[in-house]
Chains A and B, each alone.
Chain A
Amino acid sequence: MSGPLLEVAGLRKDFVSAGRFGRGARSRVAAVSDVSFAVDAGETLALVGESGSGKTTAVRMVLRLIEPDGGTIRFDGVDWLSLPIGELNRQRRKVGVVFQDPATSLDPRMNVEQIVTEPLVIHRVGDRKERRRRAVALLSAVGIPESALERRPVEFSGGQRQRIAIARALSTAPKLLVLDEPISALDVSVRAQVLNLLADLSESSTPRPATLFVGHDLSVVAHVAHRTAVMYLGRIVEEGPTGELFRTPRHPYTALLLASQPRRSPSERRPPEGASVAGEPASAASIPPGCAFHPRCPVATARCREEVPPETGSLAAGGGPRRFACFQPLS
């Protein structure tokens, strides 16, 4: 197969909601305006950005949990959006998902064996004994003992529940893993355990899956993602290899995110206050015209208020080139 495993182009989603309490004007929320990216097998792409920037909406469209209003998705050689529902459900075994909250993402009535093997049952993989064997192997890979099989999610800590969710996501040997803030709800002391686990799994799995990782902590993203795409109000404003992007941000919004990260130690120099203090985030319900970032941008000009900056650079999977959408990129 040629080309990236997952290729998303021009993805768009508006949510239309009735007015407050059913009264008043209907409002339109442009959750994702125009999003394109590509991920290769074995590669991790992170989506970062403030709350409401459209990260979850974008990945839920890739999962077809939300139907896009426009755009195309090519996944593993097929036109993913035109798959009829029956075929889509068959193909879903190629995708594993872990959501943010381990307390609510696992069905409390199921035991661990049922949770981990459910995708195999749905896709009619193996018989009961084979599925159980697979569950034991997956659980052991994520550091959960076999004795857990009969127990229910409430009996586990947050970190253990997230390991179980990861084992479930891996059960069908997916080609694509979607992780939406998988460690944000965990205790600080167990975050590193789960990050190490994700790193081990991505190296040992064959074939190595492509991973879409939604996160907001840039230091976590540095540890998991080969490339990072920065989202602002429904668009990717900058994308590049993670290390390079963090060292030399070209888009002023990326620079703002970096300057806002708390310091690692009190002896590190604090960036000048102006570098991180920049206005209120706009909402997806009222996106400013032109460059959506202009009301908060320290270097905005008249042009930024009128024209949407085009993307500079090229879309390329596998590291290398960068792209950004800004009239006055930082150098």
Chain B
Amino acid sequence: MSEPLLSVRNLTVTFPAGNGAPVVDGISFDVRPGEIVALVGESGSGKSVTAFALLDLVPEPGRTTGGEIVFEGRDVRGLPPADLRKVRGGGIGLVFQEPGSALDPVRTIGVELAGVLRRHRGLSRAEARRAAVEWLRRVSLPEPERRLDDYPHRMSGGMKQRATIALALAGGPRLLVADEPTTALDVTIQAQILALLRRLRDELGLAVLLITHDLGVVAEVADRALVMYAGEIVEEAEVAELFDAPAHPYTRGLLASRPDAGGAPGARLVAIAGSVPEPGSRGAGCLFAPRCPEAVPGCLAARPSLREVAPGHRAACILAAGPGGKP
């Protein structure tokens, strides 16, 4: 197994609201080169804050209050500003949910791309323009030569999202962090973007941290998944194993509650009771306990930590069986 490209340890991010309770609470995970890792969780679970924290971009008044973010052997948190700028875009590329939010409305996509190519790759003006066309072609934007001189408002959501991906990749990053890149898009366009991410991984050896709330997206593209609940990672596994043998009751609940295209009108679904706790109102013990159908009194004693339940498969539940161990 190769060395991790990104290694996050005990990352903690805090906002003053909610009595300063952490919104990302000591999470740890690795991303290896060429691997697509999904960070899956519901709204408010801390996925976006995690993405921002990786590049030291947590919005005010939030603050990263603990942990290490080791990218290619160096802790991003201790880097001098000039080196940090090189990591942003050059080492780690970012794509956000709203198609086009990263695009400057008054600049053409060609000008934007050429800017990145000159900054991070040191290309001349003419070289950068040629390379920009190549990048647009690589992300399957139709008619790349013509699109080069287009402003973002002339493009559809799917085209803008592809242009954004080209922009995020043009600096030559080894890791792409994509925060819900298809959530605002139609399923038809989502299918195209997910196929594109798979292809870029295969062609460029790119690693991807794909943030999503949709287990269908996880099934579609990811190699490994991290399930996040209320600021913590509660399960981690290869996707095939996660879907076949989920170890955490929350993951099981999410999988079981999904409607099925083969379902019939009126058929009841297995719902998870209650709703996600707000950061300020998260009690002691297992955070999922108030909603967990399998909870026992012991669940409230202490916050369960991630334990290995099978090789490469971890879960934070006191009932999840360890390898050969008792539950």
Contact = CB atoms under 8 A, between A and B. Distances in A.
Nearest to A50: B186
Contacts of B269: 192, 195-196, 223
Interface in A271-290: 273, 276-281, 283
Nearest to B243: A265
Interface in A104-162: 157-160
A257 interface: yes
A263 B240 CA distance: 12
Interface string B113-134: 0000000000000000000000
Contacts of B239: 266
Interface stretch (B4-12, B50-58, B189-197, B295-303): B189-197
Contacts, number: 155
A51 B186 contact: yes
Interface string A13-54: 000000000000000000000000000000010000011000
B244 A267 contact: yes
A263 B272 CA distance: 22
Contact of A202 (B266, B267, B271): B266
Contacts of B261: 218-219, 222, 246, 258, 261
Contact of A277 (B191, B266, B267, B271): B191
Which of the four size classes fits the interface of chain B?
35 or more
A243 interface: yes
B42 interface: yes
A276 B271 CA distance: 30
A2 interface: no
B260 A222 contact: yes
Interface stretch (A80-88, A171-179, A183-191, A297-305): A183-191
Decide if the interface of chain A is mainly helix, strand, loop or mixed: helix
Contacts of B220: 262-263, 266, 270
Contacts of A50: 186, 188
Interface in B220-265: 220, 239-240, 243-244, 253-254, 257-265
Interface stretch (B13-21, B27-35, B168-176, B211-219): B211-219
A218 B42 CA distance: 20
A264 B259 contact: no
Interface in B146-174: 156-159
Nearest to A256: B188
A265 B219 CA distance: 5
Contact of B42 (A187, A246, A278): A187
A322 interface: no
7 contacts: A157-B276, A219-B258, A219-B259, A219-B260, A268-B219, A277-B192, A283-B156
Interface of B: 42-43, 142, 156-159, 186-192, 194-195, 213-217, 219-220, 239-240, 243-244, 253-254, 257-273, 275-276, 291
